[in-house]
Each structure stands twice: as structure tokens, then as C-alpha cells.
Amino acid sequence: MSQFIHILPVLTVLVAAVALMFMSMYQNKFSVKTYITVSSIILVATLAFVFVPFGETFSVKPYSSIFNNVLIFDTFSNFFYVLLIGGTLFTLLIGEHYFQHRSYFTGEFFSILLFSLFGMLLLANANELITAYVALEIASFSVYIMVGYNSEDSRRVEAIFKYLVLGSFMGAFYLLGVVLVYGATQTTNLSEIATFIANNNISDMPLLYIGLTLILFIFLFKISAFPFQQWVLDVYRGAPMIITAFMASTFKIAIFSFFLRAMLQDIKPMIGFWDSIIYVVIVLTLVFGTWLAITQKIIKRMLAASSIVHTGYLLLAFIAIGKNIDAAYAIVFYLIAYLLSALGSFGLVSHIISETKVRVTYDDFKGLAHERPFLAAMMTVFMFSLAGIPSTIGFMGKLYVFTETINAGYAGLAVLAILATIVSVYYYFKLIAMMYFYPTNEKCMSNDFNDKRISTYAIAFLAILTVIGGIGSAIVFFIPALNIDTLIDLTQISIQSLLIK
Amino acid sequence: MSADILSFIIFLPAVVAFGLMITTRHVETVRNIAFLATTVILALVLKIYIDFEPSAGMQFVTNVPWISSYGINYYIGVDGFSLTILMMIAILIPTAYLLLWDGRTKGYWINMLLVQTGVTGALLSLDVILFYFFWEIMLLPVFLMIGIYGFGDKVFTTIKVTVYTMVGSLLMFVAILYLGVSYFNEFGSWSFQYDSLTQITTLSYNEKIWLFLAFLSAFAIKIPIFPLHTWIMETYKNAPTGAVFLLSSIMAKLGVYAIVRFMIPIFPDIYVEFSTWFVFIGLFGLIYFGIAALMQDDLKRMFAYSSASHLSFIAAGIFSLNEFGINGALYLIIAHAIATGALFLLVGIIHDETGYKTIKDLGGLAKQSPIFTTVFAIMLLANIGLPGTNGFVSELLIIFGVYEFNHTLGYISALTVIIGASYMLWMFQRAILVKREAGEDLKFRDLKIKEIIGLTPWIILIFLMGLYPDIFINKFEPTVTHYLNDILQIGATK
């Protein structure tokens, strides 16, 4: 029974995904609202299962006779469960408005969304390269389909095609990498690879090195680091807005869950070898991402391009792991910060355009603050957080990442990242300026916009979390539970559970 | 309770502001409540000022963990330096409210309150991360104020001023983190308190210079010191009166304060070594901005240059390495805040009433508004340092300081004061005294009773500080002496 509780969340999501698939056969019987309600309830229930062993330190490989140790359940995966399920849940809640105003969202969409969640959860548990691949592909294929969902937009074809082809291509690289690793070590199990690395001289394993580096490529591809950032703008542009939010935040976290585990638990010596590669990747990611972001006129593309810059920040902490483990906490914290702000900002834009479709460029956002002051205020909070302005969680995230980067001896990279941040102030604040300092853009007004919706409350909740994550402890005198330290403690416990042998 | 009084002073405006944000009350109610909050703060600060022991140490200290995994604390306290500036802010802001009283919107007052929280918080923070936190926070309301209530090409101005000041702040942010990491590597635990950071010994000479410059970039942009001043012209011209007042008379001073509070104790040797350069740059700025002010036709721009000129003078005093210079600089911070603050607000009134703000469009105001002219003249004379006003005492002290530092530079500083007198008096003659050249006389009202009440404490302060400097200098002198003794010793031994 105790082992069953660990696999219960994944199982629930899988069963729910299948059940929703069957439900969607009866198109006319259920409304989109029903699907949203059902999926949300299931996700809340799953979250409850996750919280049963939450906060303790454990590491188990349940039913090893069946699973043959390919799956591992520990505090780390549990922690990522909360983020992934939470991210999906918020995607649903924020998208409530959007889904209802787009006729192409039908029942099976929610089934696909849950399938992708299933894949991501499995990825957080993967302890073996092939399992990780299968999990990654389950998640990816669901995302490919969701990217192409917008049947009203001709750009979707380009988006889905680009993403699918490139993704599969990178998948082939991954498999080639696995083959080489297997050739070198006779195993694909991460723990056994770790033992192999520990028992052999580093310089005797060229095959392993090449293999793992090929595997690194898919990681860089999925998180859209240079030189694999080409697809991001077009794919994000062609995908439905809310899917963009999902990809930028939740999906990115899932990728990190597996690679952090592999990196910290098993193949840590590799990071010394990758050091210079990642160094160059970071520099170029920051430079290209920043350049792309300032040249955009469409808000969605600007947010997409800026997500590349955030990838750069994350990699900054990733490279620092090689020198000290504390950087791993910084990554996890930054992921949380980015999840909140990205989901919030993308979600807010999708919420605004759900009825009209005209708020697309910077100019269209003129005067939003006069028309909808609360939405503009929340957007401002998310922009502040993305730009790393104090009092938001984004500032905390940057504080940790930069501190650890400097601590690991990469002060030069930290300065470069700061320069990227300075430029980011320009493109984030430009949006705020548009919302507040101009008269309302007449042609973008919509009179029958109903603000009292679940989406609005979900976004407001994210905005509150964003602020509390930034100043939580400053009001510690009044509300002791809202402490940033608690969050850091949780990330530390989760990371440390990886080191249980 | 006495320890929490500072937190109360910091957060009261923000709490009131958030309260007012969600009310739907009329703008006048909002303004009255905001004004009430600032007067409550003034009363509390007066209490602190009276209770404060004129000795070197920190008082009213609160030190509780904030982000304990990185040793970041909510660490606030007050000493002679910050007390003087705290007092100044507490008096200036309510008076500014009185002068800005009519015709503003709700957001204007809410932003003013938020700025007060940011400014006071930055002033009282003794943990550098906390300081950085408030330092950035105080910029955001000003960003909104310029963008919403500004004139001309306000959007460009806001973006420019924001990016400009962020460049400095973020460079400082890296430097702060670097110091924190150095402390961690040396002592094995995290701390960002300014007094822990002073204990770091492992930094190499080159590292120190880079860190020093990173810190300086943040403060020099805010002050602004030549050549990092290019943002102020558009900003002062296009920003609404309240924002100009806050930027010039309060935030710029915090830049100077931060140099004394953080940079001098953390990098005493670099401070000593490069002082000649900075005194020189300060005096150059004094002359450069003075000449630029002479050539301005727009009143706000003229005061912007004049303000920059005086701030350069303050910077020269700070770097002159002796008690005269630093005392004088601190004194000039107050004197300049009062005089320039008042002048910007009075120009704001001229602009609101007549619609003009260029010298050639104005003229003949003296006839219609004797009280206004008198007050204007007092502020002007205080600004150029007429004996008997606080400006005189501070300029004299700084000139002594610079003279002691280097005789030649001392002579230059004494002579350049003339430039200030000439542009101010010339402007006064053209804009206020003589008859208007173009067309009929302008319609202009005299000061209202509310505004006179607001300005009275400033005028009293100007003369009190000018005639009996001791009562004020006594409060902060022990701190300065302590600072100089310690730092010059450390600077000399390192």
C-alpha cells in the first residue's frame, strides 16, 4: 500500500486522460465547461495524493519486480509533481475564458492535456534513459497536437510542422546518444551509469561522453537555448495562446526535472566536460534572446523571445552546479518564479484576447489601464517579476541565481546576465508604459467583457503569489507561514533526496 | 516599541497607499488621508530626533532574519547621518503636499505615499540587499508619475530615466552579490549587513576598484555626477512638479547618502586613493552645470542644472576626506533639499497658473504677488549661499574642506560659487522683477494661506540653520568624526 500511494498520482492522471477521451466521444452531451470542471477536480485530487508524503525525505523504487527500477519516486519528483500539476491546473483555470470562446477546443483537447501531464510526471520519475525518452515523447506529442489546435490560424501549420520535425530530429539524436551510452556502459539505467563513471577513469570513456553530449542537445532544444532557439518564435506564435503559456512554463519545468536529476544524482562529472560548451551556449542564448525580444512588436512574440533570455538565466545556475550544489536550489526556485510569472503573463494576454482577438501588438495595449485597471495592474506585477524588480518573486529568483553563479566563479557571466536584464527592463516596461500612459485604443475596446470569471481570479491568485514570493518574509511579523525560507527549505529537502543512495 | 518605530515610519505610507488604492473615495478625501499620514510620520520623526543621543552608534535598531538561507536580514537603524536626512524628508514631504494641494488625481497622492516608503526604507536600511530592495522600489512610483502626469514626450522620458537608473542599480546589484559571496568564502556564512561587509579582507585591488565603480555608477547616476547626468534634462522638463521635487530634493540626496553609508566604509582605501579625482570631477561638474544653467531659458531646466551643480559640490565635499568637507556636504544636502525643493514647487505654481515656464514669457510677477516674490527670493538667496542662510554655512564648510584637501582646488571652489549667484539673480530679475516684454501683464495669484503655512517651517529652518548651525551639527558630528577616524585609519593602513 505504501508503495501504491507513490504511483497513485501518475495513475490518476492516466486514468483520467483515458476517461476524458471516452467522454469526448459524446461530443454534444458535455460542454467545454464540464470538461474543464472535471479535469480541474481530478487535478486537485491528484494534488491531494501528492501532498500525502509531501515534505518528508524519501526515495523509493516501487514494485521493482514490475518496473525493474526504471522509475524512482522521491521528494524531488514529488516536489516537481506539485509544480507540474499546479501549472496544468492553472493553465486550465486561466484558459477557462479562452477555451469557451474558441470553437475548436473540444473534449479531446483536455484528454490530450492530461496525457501530456502524464508524460511530464513520468519524466520527473524516470531513472532510465529509454523510459525518459518515452515519457518525453508522450509529453511532446501531446504538445505537438496542442500547438496545431488553432484551426482558425494559418500559421499553425508552419508551427506544428517546424516543431514536430525538429523535435523528432532531436529525438533521433537522443536515441543515438543512448545507443552510444549503452555501447560504452552496457546499461541505460542512470544509477548504473553513475556506478560505471565512478569506477572508470574519466579519460577512458569517449563514447560515453559523446553519447551524453548528444543527450544534452535535446535538453537544450526543449528549453530553447542557443542554437536551438530558432523554432520558439514561430511555434509560440502559431500555437493557441494558452498553449504557449503551458509550453513556456510547465513543459520547461518538466524538462528540467529529468535533467537536474540526471545531472545531480548520476552524471555530475560530465558537467566539467560540458563547462565550456554551456558557457558559450549561455552567452549566445542571452545575446540572441535579448536581441529577438527588443525587436518584437507583437506581445506574444516578445514574451516568447524573452523566455529564451530566461532560459539563459536558468542555464547560468545550471553551469554553477558543477562547482556547488547550492545552485540546484537556485534553479528550482527560479523555475517556480518563472512558472508563476510566465503563466501569469501569457495567461493574462490570452484572457484579454479571448473575446476580441485584436490585442496583439504593443500599440493594441494602449490605455488598457483606463479600461481594465485590475488586469493592467496584474500585468504590471508579472512584468516586474519577469524583469526582476524587487518585491516580486522574480527578483528573489534572480538574486539566488546570480549569487550562486558568482559563488561558482562565473562573475563575467553574471555581468552579462545583468546587461540582459537591463535591456529586458526596456521591453517589459514598454508594455507597462503602453498600458498606463496612453489614451485607450478605441478599436480594441470590448464592452461586454466580463471580468468576474474564474480566469480573472486564477490570474489574480498568481499575481498575489508573485508578490508574496517576493516580500513574503518582509511581512513575516504578521503572517509567519508565508516565508520564503520555507520555500527554500522545501527545495533543499527535495534536492537532497536525490543524494540518498 | 521604540525599536519598531522605524518600521512603522517606513511602512505606514505604503499601507495607507494600498488602502487608498482600493477605496472609491473622492480625490480630496484621499489627499487628506495621505497628508494626515505624512504628518503622523513627521510627529514620530520629531520624537526620534529628540530621543536620539548624539553619539556615533546606530540607534533604534531592528534586526530580524528575512531570507535566512542567504543571511539577508531586515536590518534597520538610524545614526547621525540618516537622522538628519530622515528629518529633512519628514518635513519636506508634508509641505510639498500643501503646495501641490489642488487639482491632482488620486493616483498622484498614492504614488507620493509609495515614494515615501521607498525613500525612507532605503535611508534606514543597513543590509545592502534590503537597501537595494527599497532603492528600486522608490523608482517605480516616479516612473508612473512621470508617465501619467508628465508633459511633452513623456513616454520616451520615462523609459529613458528608468533604463538609465536601472543600469546603475543592476551593476550595483552584481557588486553587492559579489561582496556577499566574498564574505561567504572568507567567513563561511552568508551576510549582507554593511558592517559585516566592511570586514572582508580577501578582495584584491582590482576587484575593489571594479566593485567601487559598480556601486558608484548607481549613486552617481542618481545624484547625478558629471558625465552621467544626461537623463535629468528631459526628466526635469517633462516630469510633473511632484516627481521633479522628489527626484531632485530627496532621491538625489539618497545617492550622496549611500556613498557615505556603504561605499566609504566598505572601500576606505579606494575612497582615499581616488578622492582627488572625485573632488576634481565634482568641481568640474559645479562649473559645467553652472555655465549650462546660465544659458537656459526654461525655468525647470535651469533649476535642473543648478541642482546638478550644487550636487556636484556636495560630491566634492564628500570626497574631500575631512570633517569640514563631510559636515558641509551633509549640511548642504539639507540646505539644497529645502531651497531647491521649494523652488521647484514655486515654479510648479507659476506653470500651473500662467501656463508658461520659460523666462522670456514671464515677467512682472513681483507686482502682483509680493508674498510669492519674497518667499522665492529667500529660497533663491539660500540657494546661492547668502550669509545668514543655511546655504552659506554649508558652502563655507565645503570650501574649507576642499581647501584643506588641496589649496588650488579650494580657491577654484570658492570662486565658482559666483556662477551660481549670477544665473540665479539674472533669472530672478528677468522672470520676476522687470515688466513683461511681450504683451500684457500676466494674471498671477499670490500664495494661499495653506501654501504659506507649508513654506514657513522651511524658511524658519533656513535661518535657524544659517544662524545657529551648532544645534544641528551637534547631532551628526560625532558620527562624522567616528567615521573619519576609523576610515582614514583603515584607508591609511591598507
The per-residue pLDDT for A450 is: 65
Q: What share of chain B is helix, strand, coil (3-state, %, to 5)?
A: 80, 5, 20
- The pLDDT confidence band at residue A349, using thresholds 50, 70 and 90, is confident
The per-residue pLDDT for A117 is: 92
B189 inside 8 A of chain A by CB: no
Handedness of CA B154, B160, B163, B168 (dihedral sign): negative
Q: Classify each residue of A346-377 as buried b or exposed e, where b means 16 or more C-beta atoms within 10 Å of its C-beta.
A: bbbbbbbbbeeeebbbbebbbbbbebbeebbe
Q: What are the cell numbers at A288?
A: 540572441
Q: Give the closest-approach CA distance of A49 to chain B in angstroms.
A: 29
Q: Which residues in chain B are closer than 8 Å to A396, comparing Cβ atoms?
A: 67
3-state SS, one letter per residue, for B301-351? HHHHHHHHHHHHHHHHHHCCCCHHHHHHHHHHHHHHHHHHHHHHHHHHHHH
The per-residue pLDDT for A452 is: 75
Give backbone dihedrals phi and psi of B216, rounded to 5 degrees, phi first. -60, -35
Identify the H or E element spanning A432.
helix A411-437
Q: Quick count: other Cβ atoms within 10 Å of Cβ B407?
A: 10
How far are the Cα atoms of A365, A449, A457 from residue A351, in angstroms, in the given order? 13, 10, 11
**Low-confidence residues in chain B, pLDDT < 70:** 1-3, 56, 437-442, 487-494
The per-residue pLDDT for B453 is: 84
Interface contact A422-B163, CB threshold 8 A: yes
The per-residue pLDDT for A374 is: 84
Interface contact A407-B166, CB threshold 8 A: no
Q: Give the closest-approach CA distance of A442 to chain B in angstroms.
A: 19
Average pLDDT over residues A10-29: 85
Q: Give the closest-approach CA distance of A382 to chain B in angstroms.
A: 14
Q: Give the closest-approach CA distance of B62 to chain A in angstroms.
A: 12
Interface contact A400-B132, CB threshold 8 A: no
Interface test with B, best of A432, A438, A464, A483 (most B CBs within 10 A): A432
Give backbone dihedrals phi and psi of B252, rounded to 5 degrees, phi first. -60, -35
Least confident range of A47-61, A339-353, B414-428: A47-61
The per-residue pLDDT for A53 is: 67
A426 inside 8 A of chain B by CB: yes
The per-residue pLDDT for B433 is: 78
Cis peptide before A373 (omega within 30 of 0): no
Give backbone dihedrals phi and psi of B371, rounded to 5 degrees, phi first. -65, -45
Per-residue pLDDT for A501 more than 70?
no
* Block residue for cell numbers 518515452: A134
Q: Which residues in chain B are closer than 8 Å to A313, comparing Cβ atoms?
A: none
B154 inside 8 A of chain A by CB: yes
Least confident range of A276-290, A467-481, B25-39: A467-481
3-state SS, one letter per residue, for B129-171? HHHHHHHHHCHHHHHHHHHHHCCCCHHHHHHHHHHHHHHHHHH
**Rounded Cα gap, residues A490 and A264, in angstroms:** 17
Contact A266, A190 (CB under 8 A): yes
A61-120 pLDDT per residue, tens: 777 777 777 888 888 888 888 889 999 999 888 888 888 877 777 788 888 999 999 999
DSSP B430: I
DSSP A111-165: HHHHHHHHHHHHHHHB-BHHHHHHHHHHHHHHHHHHHTT-TT-THHHHHHHHHHH
B173 inside 8 A of chain A by CB: yes
Contact B333, B282 (CB under 8 A): no
Q: What are the cell numbers at B99?
A: 503646495
**Rounded Cα gap, residues A492 and A490, in angstroms:** 5
Interface contact A422-B144, CB threshold 8 A: no
Contact B462, B390 (CB under 8 A): yes
Which candidate, B379, B216, B357, B227, places its Cα nearest to that of B297? B357
The per-residue pLDDT for B1 is: 46
Interface contact B163-A406, CB threshold 8 A: no
* Block residue for cell numbers 514574451: A303
Average pLDDT over residues A332-350: 89
Which candidate, A285, A268, A138, A135, places its Cα nearest to that of A212? A268
* Burial class, A115, CB count within 10 angstroms (exposed 0-12 / middle 13-18 / buried 19+): buried
**Rounded Cα gap, residues A398 and A113, in angstroms:** 30
Which residue from B140, B147, B170 is facing A433, i.e. has the nearest CB?
Answer: B147
Q: Which residues in chain B are closer than 8 Å to A421, comparing Cβ atoms?
A: 170
A402 inside 8 A of chain B by CB: yes
| CA atoms within a 13 Å half-sphere pointing along the CA-CB vector of A376 | 20
The per-residue pLDDT for A119 is: 92
* Block residue for cell numbers 582646488: B409
**What amino acid is encoded at B322 in this protein?**
N
How far are the Cα atoms of A85, A101, A205, A250 from residue A246, in angstroms, in the given order? 11, 18, 38, 5
3-state SS, one letter per residue, for A199-219? HCCHHHCHHHHHHHHHHHHHH
Q: Which residues pair with A189 in a beta bridge?
A: A128
Q: What are the cell numbers at B477?
A: 558630528
Average pLDDT over residues A25-45: 84
Q: Which residues in chain A are closer than 8 Å to B155, comparing Cβ atoms?
A: 433, 437-438
The per-residue pLDDT for A474 is: 53
Per-residue pLDDT for A174 more than 50?
yes
A181-195 pLDDT per residue, tens: 888 888 888 888 888
DSSP B440: S
Q: In chain A, whose CA is at the least distance from the CA of B129? A: A399
**Rounded Cα gap, residues B346 and B339, in angstroms:** 10
Interface contact A421-B144, CB threshold 8 A: no
Query: What is the dihedral angle through the alpha carbons of B177, B180, B184, B187, rounded to the nearest 10 degrees?
Result: 160
What percentage of chain A reaches a pLDDT higher than 90? Answer: 8
DSSP B218-282: HHHHHTTPTTS-HHHHHHHHHS-HHHHHIIIIIIHHHHHHHIIIIIHHHSHHHHHHHHHHHHHHH
B284 inside 8 A of chain A by CB: no
**What amino acid is encoded at B351 in this protein?**
H
Interface contact A396-B67, CB threshold 8 A: yes
Q: What are the cell numbers at A7?
A: 504511483
Which residues, 6 or more positions from A195, have their beta carbon under 8 angstroms from its beta carbon? none
Identify the H or E element spanning B409.
helix B407-428
Q: In chain A, whose CA is at the least distance from the CA of B15? A: A475
B184 inside 8 A of chain A by CB: yes
Which residues, 6 or more positions from A295, have their beta carbon under 8 angstroms from its beta carbon? none
3-class SS at A362? coil
The per-residue pLDDT for B244 is: 83
Interface test with B, best of A410, A416, A429, A438 (most B CBs within 10 A): A429
Contact A334, A314 (CB under 8 A): yes
DSSP A210-273: HHHHHHHHHHHHHTT-TTS-HHHHHHHHHS-HHHHHHIIIIIHHHHHHHHHHIIIII-TTHHHH
3-class SS at A298? strand
Q: Give the closest-approach CA distance of B11 to chain A in angstroms.
A: 10
The per-residue pLDDT for A476 is: 47
Pairing outcome for strands A73-74 and A59-60? antiparallel
pTM of the predicted model as reported, rounded to 2 decimal places: 0.89
Interface contact B147-A436, CB threshold 8 A: yes
**What amino acid is encoded at B212 in this protein?**
F
Average pLDDT over residues A206-223: 85
Planar angle of CA B99, B102, B103, nearest 5 degrees: 130
Q: Which residues in chain B are closer than 8 Å to A474, comparing Cβ atoms?
A: 66, 74
A353-397 pLDDT per residue, tens: 877 666 678 888 888 888 788 888 889 999 999 988 888 888 888
The per-residue pLDDT for A356 is: 67
A277 inside 8 A of chain B by CB: no
